Amino acid sequence: MSDATHMRRAIALALAQVGRTGDNPAVGCVIVKGGEVVGEGATGDGGRPHAEEVALSGLDARDADVFVTLEPCGERSSGGLSCSERLVAARVARVVIAAADASVFADGRGSARLRNAGIAVESGLLAEEAHALYAAYRPAGR
């Protein structure tokens, strides 16, 4: 399957959660290893857990590709591990992001953490399709 196919699946996962995630955006995440989907998730009801946290749960994601509809957070408002920290700890190989997140909890910080850890980061895949998910999203601190 192509990168676009995996991102479309992540978008579909997020779309199913729109309106159910409180102040947090609905995010979808798909994890692919060896060409097979091995994990997926979406932001939980009320905004927790985050999509990446759900998708990584119980998974050996070392060297996997991660497709996420919104930039992984660089910090959590709750003080827990951010999604970018979780992805670094999982030792994924590549993170493909559809849309940037201007929130004070992301705003390039999540992507920078991933890059600094040697993880390939690609942004903008199916950005127009993903942006429709975030039309009403008002990032924290903005």
The set of catalytic residues is 52
Distance CA 86, CA 23 (A): 22
* Rg, Å, the chain Cα set: 13
The residue among 81, 85, 51 whose CA lies nearest residue 67 is: 51
The residue among 108, 97, 99 whose CA lies nearest residue 130 is: 99
Distance CA 50, CA 8 (A): 18
Distance CA 57, CA 131 (A): 26
Task: Name beta bridge partners: 37.
Answer: 32
Distance CA 57, CA 76 (A): 17
